[in-house]
Structure formats: structure tokens, C-alpha cells
Amino acid sequence: MVMARARNCCMHPKRVALIWVLCSFLFFCAFQMILKNSSLNNPTSSSSSSSSDASMSNTQKRAHLYEKMAGNLDEHGPAFLKHGETSQSLSLSDLFSVKDGVVTPNPKAANPPVRANVLYLSTEYSVPIAKAVKMVFSPYFDKAIWFQNSSLYHFSMFHASHHIAPVPATHDEVEAEANAVKSVAESLCPLKIVLDRVVLTSTGVLLGCWQVTSGTDPTTVRAKLRAALPRAPEKQLYDDAILHTSFARLLGPPRILDRVSI
């Protein structure tokens, strides 16, 4: 047991990294316990992969991407402590405000509107994950963290229009896109996924990174969506193989605790 005592209000990046590692370890342990309990209640939840779509090459590619994402914080440092820019080219103060110790998101209208195709994670799984995230991170970040709504956990798959390359569309064109996406969805097999790791980016986003054990691989899903949406931006926001979802966003340094047990 190692005991550390805070002496001032300035958080050294090494201390931030230390607390992050501790939180990540505790979260992963809690999440694995939840999964174990869930599998006991649902004995048919696991099955062997029978599809060649979940190929080793895509699995390895995702693993490489996640390894690179995990090094983002070390490479760029905790930019979120300086209210750095987010992936939407907005600052954290643009997206969130803190009043009376309560974090409140500030919705921003996109002009033209973003048209994104996403996969939602069932609340059967997202609710236990959200509970584990709050249990692990709340004691350390208190009011300096925003937790994603568990009913909105999702995986971004493909954009028909995004903020970097907007593609305006009429009402009829949007309806045609929706019908094309529906046809693609009907041709897909359900994905069975496992949590590979949890990473914290330099912009303060806590991400769950997933691997596919069976079903239509994300690379195939995105290829079909690209064929169905020919007007979509050539350059998408994410790699074709990636499958990740946001759990929370850190808005400041961890609390100064009198004692930190490791």
C-alpha cells in the first residue's frame, strides 16, 4: 500500500497519468465483473465465430489503431487541462459549461446539418458500463467530468455529410439516403463484440475500443454504406476498421485527494 499526500492545487502531468492508469484499471476490473454476472444470467450469450468477415487482418488492424490511440495522451499531453480543441474544432468551453458544480452540455447546431449513420449499443449493456464508469471516475473527477447518456452509447459508422466536408441535401435526397441505408442494414448480420481496452485521448475523451467476434465486420459495413451513399465525403472521420464509443469526457484535473491508495 502506497500513500501519497497532495501538497498543492497544481496537478503535474505525471500525477494525472497515474490517476488515469488507476482509474482505467479499476474500471476494467469492474466492467469484467459486470460482464461475468451478465453471462451467468444469459448462458447463450457466447458463441463461436462462424463468419470470415471478422478476419484476423481486421482484428489486427483494430488492435494497432487502439494501440496508437492509447499513446495519444503521452504524445500530445492532457490538452483538456488547457481547454484544448476538440475533434469538432470547438473548445471544451464551447461544448460544456460548469455552473454551481454541475456540468451542462451546450448543444451546437451544425450548419449544414451533419448526417451520420451510427450503431446504438443496447441499454442491456450500456447501462452496466455507465454505472462502472461513474463508480470508478466520480471519486477522482467529481464535477470535472461529463458522462455520456447510457441510452445514447453509439458507434459512428459513416457520414453522408460532416463538418469538414459538408454535403447539402434536399428533403427528397435525405429520404433517398435513408432508404439506401435501410437496405444496407437489412443485409447485415448482427455484430457480437468484446471490449478490447479503454483509452483516454489528449482532448479528454474516455473511449471504449471494441473487437468483433462475429457478424458483419465494420469494414464491410462501411464499404456497403459508401456504395449506397455515393455523394458522401470521400474522406471519412474514422478509419474503416475502428469500432469505438464515447463513455465520458474529462473537463479538468482530478480532485486533490488527501490519500490515494494503489
pLDDT band at 177 (very low <50, low <70, confident <90, very high): very high
Q: Distance between CA atoms of 112 and 90, rounded to whole angstroms?
A: 16
pLDDT band (50, 70, 90) for residue 8: very low
CATH of domain 57-253: 3.90.1140
Question: What is the arithmetic mean of pLDDT over 149-170?
Answer: 95
Judged by average pLDDT, the poorest of 14-18, 216-220, 243-247 is 14-18
Domain boundaries, the chain: 57-253
Of 9-18, 135-144, 153-162, the poorest mean pLDDT is in 9-18
Highest mean pLDDT among 40-49, 84-93, 214-223: 214-223
Tell me the per-residue pLDDT of 11-30, one tens digit each, with 9 for 90 and over. Answer: 555 555 555 555 655 555 55
Mean pLDDT of 160-184: 95
Is residue 224 predicted with pLDDT exceeding 90?
yes
Rounded to an integer, the average pLDDT of 173-191 is: 96
